[in-house]
Amino acid sequence: MEFRYPIKIRAVWWEGNKVCWIDTRKLPFREEIYCSNDPLRVAKAIIEMEIRGAPAIGVAAALAIASYAKELLEDNTYRDKFDNILKNAVKLLWETRPTAYNLFWALKRISSIIDLELDPHEKTSRLVEEALDIMREDIEANIKLGEYGAELIDHEDTILTHCNAGALATAAFGTVGGIIRVAWYTGKKIKIITTETRPVLQGARLNVWEYSREGIPITLITDSMAAFVIRKGLVNKVIVGADRITRKGYVVNKIGTYGIALAAKRHNIPFYVAAPTSTIDLGSSVDDVVIEERNPDEIRKVMDKPITLPEIPVYNYAFDITDPDLVTAIITEKGVVYPPFEENLAKIVKK
């Protein structure tokens, strides 16, 4: 696959009829790659966040079904149960994580192929085609939204980001990462400030790894430092990703995003959200969004080391919700969407 910009990091890809991924849990210390055609293994990788980030989990789920179909074709005994086995695999992947819309968006595309009246050979080719399209479209969308977003970035800007919405959260290139990369590759000398992003540390482990690898200057802060850094004027812009954007423009993203949006509004700096249209769920209202609550041990421990009493009750919400009036614009592959979001998101998604 050829793209307008160099693709230096891939999070999820297709190789030897399998889905392959870099295990983001091991970064930045070890670069471990796994490949599988077993949907159970891929589901485990998504639940345990070896693969994470809204677009990446959608792409991985689609490739997992395609690779499983290829595997099933090899064994004649599964022929008459082919569709049912694939539908069960879709269900398994559907239930891995509840918040990111891209997972459901990708699995709906894959399910519409499973539902076609085709023989297993023809259906498998169509599934592989569709899954590869989902992967390629993700990279192309990131490049396009990167180009739109880079127009909003000035030379020498310092951009605050939260969580990883870079190459490691997508098939490649990233959403926030796409904007940062296009700005950097076209000569804008920008700097990044990333929160560490407790408890999974996507900022400290993943943003630091992926941007410093390309020589893009990046500084690490604790999550609780974000408002102060904004207040001190160390940041000109905030750009974050999204797991789901509702019809009215509520942005569901990594826990901590809302607080940063409030601080950005208070100090009059733009708060941008970068997301492909596959993250926008025009059918959803903010009340329908399921906020994932993860294992309390993620909070009780840091890198597997206990930091508190073992039985202490904790809240471990993985995501929060930012109101549309705190969002300056949503940067998509079809263009930059400004308020009123309800009207303008509907126009852009249907474009």
Of 23, 53, 20, 24, the C-alpha closest to 204 is 24
**Nearer to ligand MRU (CB atom), residue 124 or residue 195:** 195
Total binding residues toward ligand MRU, as defined by CB under 6 A: 18
Please report how close the Cβ of residue 72 comes to ligand MRU at its closest, in angstroms: 29
Please report how close the Cβ of residue 246 comes to ligand MRU at its closest, in angstroms: 15
Q: Is 237 in the site for ligand MRU (CB under 6 A)?
A: no
Q: Which of 36, 67, 170, 246 binds ligand MRU (CB under 6 A)?
A: 170
Burial 267-280 (b: 16+ CB within 10 A, else e): eebebbbbbbbbbb
User: Strand, coil or helix: what is 115?
Assistant: coil
The interface mask with ligand MRU, positions 79-108, x = CB under 6 A, is ---------------------x--------
**Nearer to ligand MRU (CB atom), residue 228 or residue 317:** 317
**Nearer to ligand MRU (CB atom), residue 202 or residue 328:** 202
Crossing angle (nearest 10°) for helices 176-185 and 120-150: 60
**Catalytic: 157?**
no
Do 234 and 271 meet the contact criterion of CB atoms below 8 Å apart?
no
Site for ligand MRU in 189-208 (CB under 6 A): 200, 202
DSSP string of 163-206, one letter each residue? S--SGGGSSBS-SHHHHHHHHHHTT---EEEEE--TTTTIIIII
Record the tokens describing residue 350, joined without a space.
Answer: 């249907």
Give the other-Cβ count within 10 Å of 31's Cβ.
Answer: 10
Pairing of strands 244-246, 280-281: parallel
The interface mask with ligand MRU, positions 42-81, x = CB under 6 A, is ----------xxxx--------------------------
Q: Is 242 in the site for ligand MRU (CB under 6 A)?
A: yes
Q: Which of 175, 194, 277, 332 binds ligand MRU (CB under 6 A)?
A: 175
Write out the H or E segment, with its range, that includes residue 140.
helix 120-150
Record the tokens describing residue 59, joined without a space.
Answer: 């792409």
Q: Which of 230, 318, 329, 330 binds ligand MRU (CB under 6 A)?
A: 318
Please report how close the Cβ of residue 213 comes to ligand MRU at its closest, in angstroms: 18
Q: Which of 90, 128, 134, 165 binds ligand MRU (CB under 6 A)?
A: 165
Record the tokens describing residue 37, joined without a space.
Answer: 């055609």
Q: Is 171 in the site for ligand MRU (CB under 6 A)?
A: no
Q: For the chain, what is the radius of gyration of the CA atoms?
A: 20
User: Which range of residues in 85-93, 169-177, 207-215, 226-234 is near ligand MRU by CB under 6 A?
Assistant: 169-177
Site for ligand MRU in 252-271 (CB under 6 A): 253-254
Sign of the Cα pseudo-torsion (7, 10, 12, 14, in order): positive
Q: Is 241 in the site for ligand MRU (CB under 6 A)?
A: yes
Record the tokens describing residue 79, joined without a space.
Answer: 């022929």
Record the tokens describing residue 176, joined without a space.
Answer: 């926030």
Site for ligand MRU in 273-312 (CB under 6 A): none
Do 163 and 241 meet the contact criterion of CB atoms below 8 Å apart?
yes
Please report how close the Cβ of residue 79 comes to ligand MRU at its closest, in angstroms: 37
Given the residues 138, 223, 243, 281, the one annotated as active site: 243
Distance CA 101, CA 96 (A): 12
Could you list the residues that contact ligand MRU (CB under 6 A)? 52-55, 100, 163, 165, 169-170, 175, 200, 202, 241-243, 253-254, 318
Active site residues: 243
